[in-house]
Amino acid sequence: MKSSEFLRLVGFFLVNSFWVNFYIGSFDVQIGDADLLNKTEKLNYARLFTLTITLGVIVIPIVGTIMDRFNFPIASAITSFFGLLWATFLIAETKFSLIISFICYSIFRTFLFTLVFAYLADTLGFKYFGVLAGIMFVLGGVLSFLQVPLVEYASGTCHVSSTPSPCEEGNWKVLNIVMGLMICCTFYFSYKDYITREENKVLLDIASNRQKQLVTLIHAEEPNHEIIQNYRPSSILTNQSYPSKNNRTNNNKPEDQQSLLHSTNTTKAIYGTVGNR
């Protein structure tokens, strides 16, 4: 279970972080090939982009609040949503949409890295936190080598042209569409995480109810030792039923008391395991 959760997190991180880092490296070429801005406007938009990224730290407390109140599936879905908005406004290719895309990008980037580190610690613990985080960033670094051929594929000639003569705008719109589709796929991470957490809640509730039933039997005046002896945590998943009245016995033997103690300890162990999830 833990390994599958980590693999899903790695996929979520690699897809989103690849495009986050790709845009920082290709931002100037992309707005230059869009052929929407003159030289002065390009400089102003570059300054605005840098300022917007810096102001992204304002969103960090909001990310923390969302994770605390609504849990990680909602936070990851919001992350993917802002990534999709960013791609959509880039595809629009207008002066106004560029400004909105800067804002969406800044929020998307802040959400992404805050969420990944918090999710890694909450779900997989701190024992191997550094190792797992290192693995993710190494894979992200290796994947970033693909950015160079992608820039070469998408680049036109408008970003190097100093005159208003016709120029090639490149394939940035096609690349941004592909980026948007890939970010859409990361909603699967939010869905699977939600399903996993709901299943864990059900298991926790079942284990809690069985624990209460066992405590009630222990404190009864005449506990039925056969019921307690036959009680096993595996019944949580196998729907094992109690023995019928005809098969019950009230023999208070020493071996029954040992079975009761063993069953109690085993139940506490499984209850604690499910609770930690």
Q: What angle do CA 198, 188, 275 make, to 5 degrees?
A: 25
Six-digit token string for 92: 């629009």
Domain boundaries, the chain: 2-185, 198-276
- Tens of pLDDT along the chain (277 residues) come to 468 889 999 999 999 999 999 999 899 889 888 878 888 888 899 999 999 999 999 999 999 999 999 989 999 999 999 999 999 999 998 999 999 999 999 999 999 999 999 999 888 888 888 899 999 999 999 999 999 999 999 988 887 766 556 788 889 999 999 999 999 999 999 999 999 888 888 888 888 878 877 777 777 655 555 555 555 554 444 444 444 444 444 444 444 445 544 545 544 444 444 444 4
Burial zone of 15 (CB within 10 Å; 0-12 exposed, 13-18 middle, 19+ buried): buried
Question: Are the C-beta atoms of residues 97 and 34 closer than 8 Å to each other?
Answer: no
**Type of residue numbered 48:** L
Q: How many CB atoms lie within 10 A of CB 250?
A: 10
Residue 217 and residue 172: Cα distance in Å, rounded? Answer: 69
Closest CA to 78 of 112, 55, 29, 27: 112
Residue 200 and residue 183: Cα distance in Å, rounded? Answer: 27
> According to the model, what pLDDT value does residue 269 have?
47
pTM over 0.85: no
Question: Are the C-beta atoms of residues 253 and 228 closer than 8 Å to each other?
Answer: no
Closest CA to 104 of 116, 120, 92: 92
Domain spanning 2-185, CATH architecture: Up-down Bundle (1.20)
Residue 183 and residue 254: Cα distance in Å, rounded? Answer: 63
Question: Are the C-beta atoms of residues 16 and 111 closer than 8 Å to each other?
Answer: no
> According to the model, what pLDDT value does residue 163 have?
56
